[in-house]
Chains A and B, each alone.
Chain A
């Protein structure tokens, strides 16, 4: 046992050096006079197709620093990899806040990862911008949380409401709902069911499937047997592809006039390129498309600079879905800091609650729990998509905005007709 004890002493010594080391960096940091902004991103693991969001942060940081920084101080961005796993997130955010002493936080991507740090943000009373997190603040009602994405109030149940509004305008009476068994999809599907009840649409089929499912033949046959007029689908990239293929292969029957809604995947370039014409007619949500009704100030310049970086890093070459919103998340901070002349968490938050902010994704006004007051989730229909690859999606007219009507850039074509064209 002697050796064991000696070993223990050595380990102890090593451990204490390890403990002391971060404290040394911290001191270095604290004196540097920078404004520090931090977050985790899913650089590896199942969510790593979202890592292009980091480019949005980086371009924002570069723009701010090129313009002389914030309050004369340079902005520094700290991003750690959470490996797409919620279990890594609490320690990372503690590192950001307690060791790196960042001034402002962004959440990780999505609601699942963010659920682990919202209580932390509230306890520490930290300013934090939500990155496409749905309903993360509904229960905690943290007053320093702001959502970058346009889910609108009651996002959890209503973010895909646009699809049902279209259905209603189109006189749909029978709806089928198909959803992956995950947080994002499930809440949307349940929300959809409620909307159907409110508006008197009958739900003729309601199916959930595990996120690893890749064969939709039997599911699509069940749907066809129920003869719905519209099908609301909440799916993830790999299953979205399988579903789009399945429609080609199995068919949907003649009854369906409207298909899509909450499919994650047809926002990403790799899927758009792969599916091509198989997408025609699908009406699906998006956060940004290059239609003439959505030319916000700075967005074209942003995308132009995004593309070469994305190509070099082998991430999504279009960049419509997440990066503009991470850039806008940065703008929320820089505009509020400039307006208040302070980096005080409370002052900045108060200013954002009281003022509207112009960003590359349009003007944002926040409600009392930090959601956009206006829901601006787009429902776009794929029209006239051909085999020519990815570049066609940069032009207007391929992803036509149908809802919200204020941003509409074209008319809805019934599903079967749109597929013939």
Chain B
């Protein structure tokens, strides 16, 4: 009985954790998965979003609502950021891996320092009523602190998927990723489309930030521990598959949670990456990606 109890709870925790990971990775699934821009600054932007949410929460605004509201300025920020990136590189036909990685790393350092200057280095968190209680379903107890941000993930994934597969501009984003020249022949400016997509990805960072800060306190450097994991999720999913991102996040979440419960918690950080290495070696297109 005790074992069943532990397994069920570990699974539930894993699903929650995995959904939140997927939400963190969602913006990257666009920038990296679809546009092939290795935006290592994404986790830092998520933390910036989280701080923005903390600030609004001081005035009593609900964190999720704040995240959605902040998504608008973050969208504009993303557009500016992309503009800078494209002015620097795209005229040369896109930066190579090394140059892009270095650029975004530099950007991520600047975001971190900006946060340190603006907010100091103490941990910050939000106040919401449901933190500290949990939903009980039989043997399973799920903290609302995880449940609510975790529920944001499928909603965001579904909306994004609808957008990318049912609207013209969404289709254009995917088309740009597929064949830029063909898109420009059909009269769409690929630069505009990409800028828009990058804006959406950055807006998702604000929403992911809201989810992250509900689960626990953050500091300006909190993004660093997520860099590896979010890339792992996007690659594991198969580049650019939006529903796959959610599935990959959950797979990693469950794996970590099971290892934590039944082996030793100190092995958990390696799990995501062991899975990733195995995927890259055996099926480099990812679990849900089409062959390229």
A residues sitting closer than 8 Å to B (CB atoms) are: 44-46, 48-49, 51, 181, 207-210, 212-215, 217-219, 221-222, 225, 237-238, 241-242, 245-246, 248-251, 265, 268-271, 274, 278, 313-316
CB distance from B100 to the nearest CB of A (A): 25
Which residue in chain B gives the minimum CB-CB distance to A317? B122
State the CA gap A246–B260 with chains docked (Å).
Answer: 15
Write 10 A-B pairs (CB below 8 A) sorted by A numbering.
Answer: A46-B219, A46-B221, A215-B16, A217-B146, A218-B257, A246-B143, A249-B141, A251-B141, A270-B124, A316-B122
Partner of B6, one of A213, A221, A248, A313: A221
B131 near A210 with CB under 8 A, answer no
Q: Inside 8 A of A314's CB, which chain B residues have their CB?
A: 119-120, 122
**Inter-chain pairs besides A245-B143, A315-B121, A316-B122, 16 sampled, C-beta below 8 Å:** A181-B265, A209-B266, A212-B225, A213-B268, A215-B257, A218-B9, A221-B9, A222-B261, A225-B5, A237-B123, A238-B217, A241-B123, A248-B132, A249-B144, A274-B217, A314-B122
The answer to the question of B66 belonging to the interface, with a C-beta cut-off of 8 Å to chain A, is no
The answer to the question of B13 belonging to the interface, with a C-beta cut-off of 8 Å to chain A, is yes
- Given the interface pairs A215-B13, A250-B143, the reply to whether A51 lies near B121 with Cβ below 8 Å is yes
B9 near A249 with CB under 8 A, answer no
Q: Inside 8 A of A274's CB, which chain B residues have their CB?
A: 123, 125, 127, 217
State the CA gap A213–B120 with chains docked (Å).
Answer: 23
B13 near A218 with CB under 8 A, answer yes
CB distance from B54 to the nearest CB of A (A): 10
A238 near B133 with CB under 8 A, answer no
State the CA gap A238–B218 with chains docked (Å).
Answer: 8
A315 near B265 with CB under 8 A, answer no
Q: Inside 8 A of B125's CB, which chain A residues have their CB?
A: 241, 270, 274
CB distance from B268 to the nearest CB of A (A): 6
Partner of A248, one of B5, B133, B268: B133
The answer to the question of B184 belonging to the interface, with a C-beta cut-off of 8 Å to chain A, is no
A245 near B13 with CB under 8 A, answer no
State the CA gap A315–B16 with chains docked (Å).
Answer: 33
A49 near B123 with CB under 8 A, answer yes
State the CA gap A271–B261 with chains docked (Å).
Answer: 27
The answer to the question of B17 belonging to the interface, with a C-beta cut-off of 8 Å to chain A, is yes
Q: Inside 8 A of A238's CB, which chain B residues have their CB?
A: 123, 216-217, 219, 222
B216 near A219 with CB under 8 A, answer no
State the CA gap A89–B199 with chains docked (Å).
Answer: 41
Closest 5 CB pairs of A and B: A314-B120, A209-B265, A249-B143, A48-B121, A248-B132
The answer to the question of B264 belonging to the interface, with a C-beta cut-off of 8 Å to chain A, is yes
Q: Inside 8 A of B108's CB, which chain A residues have their CB?
A: none
State the CA gap A268–B125 with chains docked (Å).
Answer: 13
B217 near A315 with CB under 8 A, answer no
Residues B1-16 near A (CB distance < 8 A): 2, 5-6, 9-10, 13, 16
State the CA gap A4–B205 with chains docked (Å).
Answer: 46
Partner of B260, one of A44, A45, A218, A248: A218
Interface string of B79-113 (1 = CB under 8 A from A): 00000000000000000000000000000000000
Q: Inside 8 A of B221's CB, which chain A residues have their CB?
A: 45-46, 48
State the CA gap A209–B259 with chains docked (Å).
Answer: 11
Which residue in chain A gives the minimum CB-CB distance to B2? A225
Q: Inside 8 A of A270's CB, which chain B residues have their CB?
A: 122-125, 217
Partner of A219, one of B16, B116, B225, B265: B265
Q: Inside 8 A of B165's CB, which chain A residues have their CB?
A: none
